[in-house]
Structure 1
Amino acid sequence: MSNQMLAFDYFQLDPAGARLLKYGDRVALPPKAMAALVYLVENRGRLVGKDELLDAVWGHRFVSQSVLKNTIATLRQALDDESKNPLYIETVHRLGYRFIAAVNTGTTAATESAKMAAVPILAGLSRLIGREKPLAELGNLTKKALAGQPQLAFITGEPGIGKTALIETFLQSSALPALTGRGQCIEQYGQSEPYLPVLEALNDLVRQDEARLSKLLSQVAPTWLAQLPWYLNQTEPMAMQQVLAGASQLRMLREFGELIDRCAADRPLILVLEDLHWSDHATQNLLAYLARRKQIARWLILGSYRPEDVMLVDHDLKHVLRDLQIQGLCTEIPLEPLSEAAIGAYLSTHVKDPDRAANWARALHRKTGGLPFFLMQLIETVQAGRAPEEDVAIQTAALPESMQQLLAYQFDRLSDGYRLILQAASVVGMTFSAETVATALALDWVEVETRCENLARSRHFIEPVTDIPGHYGFRHAFYQKFAYQHISPLQRAGLHFHVGEWLESSRKRPEELATELALHFERGRHWEKAVKYLQLAANTAVARHALHEAAQLLRHGLALLEDKLTGSPEYARYGTDLNTLYAMILQAIQGYGVDALEVIYRRALESVDRLGDTPRLLRVLWGVWAFHYVRSKLDLSLDYARQMQAEAEQAGDMAGLIGAHFALGTTHMNRGELDLALAHARQCLALYEPNSHGALFRLYTQDPAVCARYCLGLVLWLKGFPEQAMTVFDDALALAENLGHPFSLAIALSAMAWRHVDRREPSSVLERCEALERLAEEHGFLLWQAMAAIMRGWASAMLGQAEEGILRIQQGLATWRATGSRWIAPRYLTLLAEAYGQAGRIEEGL
């Protein structure tokens, strides 16, 4: 054991006196932890095996390796160190530990260490300098959450400002025994898969307490458990498929709210969702829903986003944030670049010469603009010896247009083999496995992992992913983008294709990777597979009732189809499927009669004619029927409904026959042919088996049995059987609620609201319309928003608020006309006329 003082950064280690000093103050350490630290420091730079360290500290007594792991954790806590980004003790997976900091010896060690302290200390700039105020704000939010007031907060700032570092520091410094889950949004086709960051955070939570949380998921959030199939036992997958078939976005929101409330009952809960500027519509809806809930619970949801990527474009998140901020339902914590004074104050505690510290601070701030990430990179370059004197290096180091030259310098220093690995890794994404990179490059897996370990150990571009052997991540998005931009177009395409093939052959279900696979195959110039996986990703989004995301994926798929696959054998099949699904989604979210649908359905009919595929033809015919029906072209819609029936009967297609009978019944009803309408509605219900046909909403964007009951109830009402009709409407509403399908539920709610209009019950109309409006706004159903506004306006007029009611009806009619619909327009105008009458505006009413 050395008798000399050993100094590293602001620590001094006295082996003879068994003392560890921090800024001259003693740090308490257990004897075994002290002995382990001394041994590691004295063997600095060398890998110390686990068995060697056990023998050196505990002798030859039998001690489990968990004791050693706990001891290392104690040392890291005393040294303010991190396992993920170590400054002092590095873990070499399965082998042992290495002390990596520079150490000075002798009586002048503290002085010499202080002289150089700024370099390694500044590696933690983003979490140590000038962040006292945001950390205090996070502490206050935590106190409120502990008191039963759930909190939603957003940390905002430009790339490299230190959002992630602040979050990590907050989580590490918190004394709470909180359960913490982290998820991250990724950049994909405009918006990522529905709930992607939430599912990642949820998976992170379950990994920490699988027995309790998987059971809790099964009890209160089965639709979320179905999204994490690896936690199901062998008997559950089929049951979960049924759960998914009946899942709705509204149900998923309610389940998640109940889940986090119960999770936080025993331990406080912190959910971190990073990079929300790439978030999906469904995740934004979930955050808004959770913020508006009034339950007492102990949770904190912490998000981060880049304002410029949200506020300067028409991003959905902008509108969600605006509404939450106006209502005081969230907290924003903006991060600003560090001031010269903040950098100087920090340096003055580590550099003894005040003039030197001031010069450093001035040069650092001028070169980096106070952006913490840039500061770290500049100091690392100085430390690497780019100039003989640190001050000179800071003043002369080039950072034009932020980081480009500095990154180029670091990248060019690497050998060809290391650069090639980083380039291939950048194609995979922000995180990657050595095995995937090796496959993409057709290299030996062990060789690639060895090189990745070397890069991570030297903190060059990448770092190991904690607790996942063989996996790594880029230290910042700048690194990943820089490496990606330095690949030739031809090489980039080849790498993307090989990565796509590798992922395609993995054991994961393709729908879990559909968006990622589409991205790789498109950039790998395999257009057919790119379109295939875009369609699969859209179908997955529809199953999760995330229609906006599905529409975006389909638009991209159709553009790719027209640009790259025109004339190919796959063109007709994909053209039919993509156009039909896209049209049905537009019908749901914009209205059945929007002008764009006519062109889309014409393309779908042209494509399906080439195929001779009856099931596909039936889907197209249904959509064309619906388009003409809401435009009140009843003769044309009747022709399409009859063609649908004939095709379905000839093919023996039960799903098509159910849809055809509903279409015929509804059309005959609106033509005044009530007996025919009654017969077709009853035939539809006779063919419909709930267990077999409960997922037909995926074909028709609505459940045929709910719609047939709507038709049957209205016919009974018109034929003079109001009590029987109300029973049928009640059944329709119960079925829609049981299915949990939002669009079918909107149909059933509208039917009930209309009946209350007919019964002159304005208070009941308001109640039904409020529920319909909430549902329609949540899912973006313009058609039902318009209908609810019109009926609600009539109810307001009947209750004495005539002017307000007239305004609501007029706004609803404007929205209704924008959907292209002409269906029951005269009925709406009678409600407006009656409202004018209530206001005494007789001429306008006439």
Structure 2
Amino acid sequence: MKCPKCHFENPDDTIYCGKCATPLRPTEEISASHTKTLQVPTKDLTTGSTFAGRYQVIEELGKGGMGKVYKALDKEIKESVALKLLKPEIAADEKTIERFRNELKYARKITHKNVCRMYHLSKEADAYYITMEYVPGEDLKSFIRRVGQLPVKKAISITTQVGEGLAEAHRLGVVHRDLKPQNIMIDKEGNARIMDFGIARSLKAKGITEEGMIIGTPDYMSPEQVEGQEADQRSDIYSLGIILYEMVAGKVPFEGDSSLSIAVKHKTEIPANPRDINAQVPEDLSNLILKCLEKEREKRFQNVEELLSELRNIEAGFAAAAAPQQPQMPAFLIEAEEGPAEGERPVFVAREQELEKLGKFLDTSLAGKGQVVFLTGEAGSGKTALIQEFARRAQEEHPDLIVAGGKCNAQTGIGDPYLPFIEIMSLLTGDVEAKCVAGVITKEHATRLWNFIPFSVKSILDKGPDLIDIFAPGADLVAHGEAFASGREPWFFSLKKLVERKAALPTDSSLTQTYLFEQYTRVLEALAQQQPMLLIMDDLQWMDAGSASLLFHLGRRMKGNRVLIVGAFRPSEVDQGRAGERHPLEPVLHEFKLDFGDFEVEVEKAEGMQFVDALLDTEPNRLGTAFRDMLFKQTKGHPLFTVELLRDMQDRKLLVRDRKGQWVEGPELNWDTLPVRVDAVIEARISRLTDGLREVMTIASVEGEEFTAEVVARLQEIEIRKLVRHLSSELDKQHHLVSAKGIRQLERQRLSLYLFQHILFQRYLYNRLDKVERAHLHGEVGNILEALYGEQTDEIAVQLARHFEEAGITQKATEYLQKAGQRALQLSAHQEAITHFNKCLNLLKTLPDTPERAQGELMLQLTLTVPLQATKGLAAPEIGRALARVQDLYQQLGEPPQLLTAMAALAQFYSLRAEYHKSLNLGEKIIKASKGAEDLMPMLVSSCTATWPFLNIGEFSKALASAKKWIDVYDPEQHAPLAFVYGWDLGVIAMSVGSWALWFLGYPDQAGKGRDDSVALARKLDHPHTIAFAITFDIVTRIYRGEFQGVKELAEELTQLAAEKGFIYWEAHGIFYYGYMQAMEEQLEEGLTKMFQALDTLQAIGAGTCFTRLYTRIMEAYILARQTKKGLAIYDKAMEILQMYDERYCEADLYRLKGELLLVKAEDEKTQTGKLKKSKEKINEIEEEAESLFQKALEVSRKQQAKSLELRATMSLARLWQKQGKKEEARKQLAEIYGWFTEGFDT
């Protein structure tokens, strides 16, 4: 009898598979109805086809135990429906069909907003199908997998909705009996809908279900259902309790390796308290859940109404407790009754058409259809003024609207990762004091953002914990959150604990940009559920590549949220590109145009004459048509030019006020003497400043569009209070050249930040300086900023690098470029990191050739490989060149001991690139150089790193010895932080690779224990990249040991974890092994498709290691499929990899599997050609070649001491000999290797 799981051939009278213990036939204790497996495949419907003359198939939605489900258009009623096509074996059972008919009669009576309507049970030819209401959305199981533990409020809401649907069904006498999260849809509005009442049984139709038959899903099955007893409404309550438990705990209470083991736990085990898993679960909710899960139904809620009543009481109490306490308003918001004075608004006229268009975009977004819109216009066209006016009006019209903005920086934006998004998150999490005090935002605006703090801080804690210290400083979150917490709230305790933990650990090197983007998006989605948001980003022409990618990610995901994203940029600068390449914003704009259609508001399109008239009429005047025509002729209606020219005319008394206070033409007005370009009018404005103020503005222009008053004060030797007075009065209110931005609080002091009111002012002043003046001033500005920021210079590394480079102080410039690159790496902004590191390398070349320079270059080249790997893949030629240069420099420096840690990292990198011998050679050097050294860490790390290359080249004993060296000294408390440096925990690596080595060497039980220990450690450490690594090794070890049960579930977990975190390499492995299990279950086409999809992904990212192992799995699938030609082609590919990288750990298996493919070919040849003499000769030749391959496999495995592979090869050879009549030789050969083993007899 063939095992349905592992395909092992068992004797006919066997009850359990001798290889994997899968039940093969029902026992006396378990009735046939409990274990019956349905094997007949479901008939497929193809997209576009018409079924039953009425239903046009749109797409397949999924499949389950009853059959496949499709979305279809009912052509008679012109509506989409869900069509469930029952499996043929179900359709062939008349008793089952009759039961469905009876139960459907009752299910159709249920009309409730939380229940999916059932329509008909019908028959087409030999196929039965059920039609039901189509509910677009996501099933609850998928939602839980994606989100993890749900917020308590959300879990209660879903449970209440499901309970209300169940209550209506129970009132009509219908019990679901298979309630599970897979049968609960969360529609696009967030409402819960119960599905599949089609198998529910009427309480009034007793006797229809066969006695003793289990109906239900093991994870959610009540104890009485486990025993095959009658299910009633209390059984549904039990299942609902399990679902609520899973929502708040993130997992079901009972888990096991088989359905039977889970079912037994429902009957015998007490569930863990959900509060022990999730501290945020209120005690009364935990008690409610446990009451639902009582083993005896008499102890549960006796009806759903009782459950709902208690649930509503808990919800009311929870809502009251969860409501943000009214904190004491901060001093900056209550210093004056009217609050801080709002800064003077910029002149704003003639933009009603643009405002109306933006208003329509906002209305659409507020209706839950998020939008992205861009304002485009050249310098001085009024984009910023339009944004500010739109935001002001939007807040007036919508009292709950949250507005936050950020802007890119002309001087540093290209290399300052995520700057606008960091500024937005800063405002959303309460960093509003500086802007409020400076008058940049109103008191009303600041108060809205301040009161939003509890939602934003909790959302970051729940949805984006990795954003802390990247997009939002942890210390600020704690400080702001404390204003809304007494200190006892669970969320605040969790926040403090998380911030402390992050502060104690280095930044996680395995954190991916994709995962950061996903967390940022989830936070905004959560916030938009609380209040609608308007997010503004200005000056996107200076946007960095990382911000462009994040904008694209957000824009795509905000479509279903109450969020409007408004960006502004100059199209001419985007069109020009950047450094000979496309501007990073350009592809984003292209994709958004496809997604959103009309998404641009062109500011330049306003009528120039209309603007001139509107601007003049903002104040009383008697300026006639002739004046207006001449002004338009002079400025062409250019907003900045027009505004500045009018101010110039007023300052020079060319326009004067009459007795009534109206503006009129002055007697000295002469149009021929007025500036004809905007730069000329700016020059005129600047020339009217005093020498002292002009010098202040010139120094400020060196720092950039944004500048620091304290820097200017030190350079000018002016008392800071006096300078701030000049800036805020004369230069702001009188001359309209600068405006206050806010305060920046440092550890020891605070800095006063100002902005040029337009970048054209800054550029004019800066461009008047010659090269010598610029270099001198950049150096002084850099030195002062360095002194002001002290130990916090990392925060402005990009600015300091620019100042020192412009000053010609190359050593300092390289120092800060390295810091800027490291900061970009911490933010997973890999493109920006590459830019900074390459720029630094180029600058280093200009310095004298000294050992210090060589050592600096070595560390830079090594660090550069990290972002190169993330963006271009491990096989990128740039990485090869960088690594070669590192080796050259190391030798050039005489292999100094202080670089051993760096070399250990290099050895690991070689290992990942499948350059195994380079890795091992370097590791040997490190170990020799470390002898006698105080710091043994490089030697130990090298020993751990060596496990993988030793294993890959087939040196299994050495791999095990290297693993043991690390395991013997490994201390989780001491060494766990290394996971954040190397990307994974070295203890888990050693245990995992060591477990493989043990299996190859013939110790499968010890391998299993090592595997279990590594997985347990990985899950305890809770380091995602390490968990992904451990799960992959768990999967492969199970396959090696023949433990196929659970592999598919692990592959799903791996795929989900890796996809969520952005671990492309591990996601590909999850997909591959899921496909492998499908192939082993004879879903060959689907399985092989997934396996090759995974291989394509791995090749695309440049993965070098692991291909020979994956190719052996594909060969196994082709053997099962009897596709020998394709299998032999894969063998050839595997041998190419083997020769290229000396990757020999699967060499023996490759020979063996080729031999097995040839035997399949021989069998097929025999079937096709019969007894022809020529064919017999050909078959004999094939079998001889197969035998030689088995012998080769034996030779290699013995050389490698790989006893498990030797056993496999011996079994293949023995089967062939037995077939050829050499039974005694086969028995003797097999007995010899079998006798060697001391463990693993059940594997």
Please say whether Structure 1 and Structure 2 have the same fold, judged by a TM-score greater than 0.5. Answer: yes
Whether contact under 8 Å (1:455, 1:462) holds in the other structure is: yes
CA contact (8 A) 1:762 1:796 kept: no
Query: Is 1:184 paired with 2:407?
Result: yes
For 1:756-797, what per-residue CA distance to the aligned partner results, in whole angstroms no more than 9, with x for missing partners?
A: 998899976984685487468x58x6x678878877998999
In structure 1, what is the Cα distance between the partners aligned to 2:845 and 2:1035? Answer: 43
Moved more, 435-444 or 224-233: 224-233
Q: 1:617-766 residue pairs with structure 2 within 5 A? A: 617-624=900-907, 626-627=909-910, 629-630=911-912, 632-697=914-979, 699-716=981-998, 718-719=1000-1001, 747=1029, 751=1033
* One-letter amino acid matched to 1:159: A
CA–CA distance in 1 between the matches of 2:978 and 2:517?
23
Looking at structure 1, the residues matched to 468 and 991 of structure 2 have their Cα atoms a distance apart, in angstroms, of 32
Name the SS of the counterpart of 1:509 in structure 2: helix
* Alpha-carbon separation, structure 1, partners of 2:619 and 2:902: 74
Tell me the residue number matched to 2:252: none
Q: CA–CA distance in 1 between the matches of 2:968 and 2:565?
A: 48
Q: Quick one: structure 1 residues 267 and 361, their matched pair in 2 at CA, closer, same or farther if it must change by over 3 Å?
A: farther
**Does the aligned pair in 2 maintain the 1:360–1:394 contact within 8 Å?**
no
Deviation, 1:670, is: 0.8
Does structure 1 conserve the Cα–Cα contact (< 8 Å) formed by 2:375 and 2:602? yes
Contact 1:429–1:480 (8 Å) recurs in 2: yes
Residue of structure 2 in register with 1:38 after alignment: none
Q: Is this contact kept in 2: 1:146–1:299, CA < 8 A?
A: yes
* Secondary structure of residue in 2 paired with 1:463: strand
2:845 aligned residue: 562
Cα pair 1:713 1:724 within 8 Å, conserved: yes
1:420 is aligned with what amino acid?
A: E
Q: Secondary structure at the match of 2:415?
A: coil
Amino acid at match of 1:165: A
Letter in 2 for 1:409: A
Q: How does 1:4-43 map to 2 (within 5 A)?
A: none
Residue 453 of structure 2 is matched in structure 1 by: 213
- What is the CA–CA distance in structure 1 between the aligned matches of 2:992 and 2:830, rounded to whole Å? 24
2:712 is paired with a residue whose SS is: helix
Equivalent residue, structure 1, for 2:648: 381
Q: Is the contact made by 1:337 and 1:371 (CA closer than 8 Å) also made in structure 2? A: no
Alignment partner for residue 510 of structure 1, among 782, 789, 793?
A: 793
Shift of 1:513: 1.9
Contact 1:605–1:617, Cα closer than 8 Å, also in 2: no
Corresponding position of 2:425? 202
Instruction: Write the letter of the residue equivalent to 1:429.
Output: G
Structure with bigger gyration radius: 2
Gaps of 5+ in 1: 1-63, 74-81, 87-122
Matches within 5 A, 1:108-507: 124=347, 127-129=348-350, 131-174=351-394, 175=396, 176-177=398-399, 178-188=401-411, 191-205=414-428, 206=430, 207=432, 208=446, 213=453, 217=457, 219-220=461-462, 222-226=465-469, 227-228=472-473, 231=476, 232=478, 238-242=500-504, 245-246=507-508, 248-249=511-512, 252-253=516-517, 255-261=519-525, 263-264=527-528, 267-293=531-557, 298-313=562-577, 314-328=582-596, 331-340=599-608, 342-343=610-611, 346=614, 356-357=624-625, 360=628, 364=632, 367-368=634-635, 370-385=637-652, 397-400=674-677, 403-452=678-727, 453-465=729-741, 471-507=753-789
Distance 1:393 1:260, change over 3 A: farther
CA distance in 2, matches of 1:172, 1:661: 63
Change (3 A) 1:464 1:843: closer
Equivalent-residue separation in structure 2 for 1:577 and 1:604 (angstroms): 8
In structure 2, relative to structure 1, the CA distance for the partners of 1:647 and 1:306 (3 Å cut) is farther
Q: CA deviation at 1:653?
A: 2.9
For 1:523 and 1:839, locate their aligned partners in 2 and report how far apart those are by CA, in whole Å.
69
Structure 1 residues 618 and 395, CA gap change in structure 2 (3 angstroms):
same
Q: Is residue 194–residue 283 contact of structure 1 (8 Å, CA) maintained in 2?
A: yes
- Deviation of 1:425 after TM superposition, in Å, equals 0.4
Deviations 1:332-367 (A, max 9, x none): 444334224643674796799999548735852x55
Question: CA separation in 2, counterparts of 1:606 and 1:738?
Answer: 41
Shift of the 137–784 alpha-carbon distance from structure 1 to 2, 3 Å rule, reads farther
Aligned residue type for 2:767: Q
The change in CA–CA distance for 1:497 and 1:214 in structure 2 (over 3 A counts) is farther
Pairing partner for 2:885 from 603, 608, 629 = 603
Q: For residue 270 of structure 1, what is the amino acid of its counterpart?
A: L
Report SS of the residue matched to 1:653: coil
Say if 1:340 and 1:362, in contact at 8 Å, map to a contact too: no
CA–CA separation in structure 2 for the residues paired with 1:765 and 1:652: 42
Structure 2 counterpart SS, 1:683:
helix
Deviation (angstroms), 1:542: 2.6
SS of the residue 2:788 aligns to: coil
Alpha-carbon distance in structure 2 between the residues aligned to 1:273 and 1:491: 34
Within 2, Cα distance between the matches of 1:719 and 1:515? 53
Instruction: Report the count of equivalent residues.
Output: 725
Deviation at 1:678, TM superposition (A): 2.1
CA contact (8 A) 2:913 2:1105 kept: yes
What TM-score do the two structures reach when normalised by structure 2? 0.51
TM-aligned CA deviation for residue 424 of structure 1: 0.8
Q: TM-score with structure 1 length normalisation?
A: 0.72
Where in structure 2 are the equivalents of 1:823-842 lying within 5 Å?
Answer: 823-827=1105-1109, 842=1125
Structure 2: gaps of 5 or more residues: 1-330, 433-445, 483-495, 656-664, 745-750, 1130-1243
CA contact (8 A) 1:152 1:329 kept: no
Q: 2: distance between equivalents of 1:67 and 1:762?
A: 61
| Paired residues of 2:641 and 2:681 also in contact (CA < 8 A) | no
Q: Give CA-to-partner distance per residue, 1:377-434, whole Å, 9 cap, x none.
A: 233333334867599867874445xx33332333333343222211110112222232
Whether the 8 Å CA contact 2:412–2:799 is kept in 1: the answer is no
The question of 1:83 aligning with 2:83 is answered: no
Secondary structure of the residue aligned to 1:620 is helix
Q: Does structure 1 retain, via aligned residues, the 8 Å contact 2:797–2:820?
A: yes
- Aligned residue number for residue 594 of structure 1: 876
Counterpart amino acid of residue 534 in structure 2: I
Contact 2:508 2:980 in 1 (8 A): no
Q: Which range moves more in the overlay, 697-706 or 806-815? A: 806-815
Encode CA deviations 1:465-485: one digit per residue, 9 max, x unaligned.
368895421011111122111
Q: Distance in 2 between matches of 1:262 and 1:163?
A: 30
Alpha-carbon distance between aligned partners in 2 of 1:605 and 1:353, rounded to the nearest angstrom: 77
RMSD value, Cα: 4.6
Which stretch has the larger CA shift, 762-771 or 278-287? 762-771
Label 1:836 to 1:678 Cα distance change in 2 as closer, same or farther (>3 A): closer
Aligned to 1:531: 814
After alignment, is 657-666 or 179-188 more displaced?
179-188
| Counterpart amino acid of residue 646 in structure 2 | I
The alpha-carbon distance between structure 1 residues 608 and 270, as it changes in their structure 2 partners (threshold 3 A), is: same
C-alpha distance in 1, partners of 2:412/2:852?
22
Task: Determine which of 570, 573, 576 is the counterpart of 2:858.
Answer: 576
Q: Is the 8 A contact 1:183 1:200 kept in 2?
A: yes
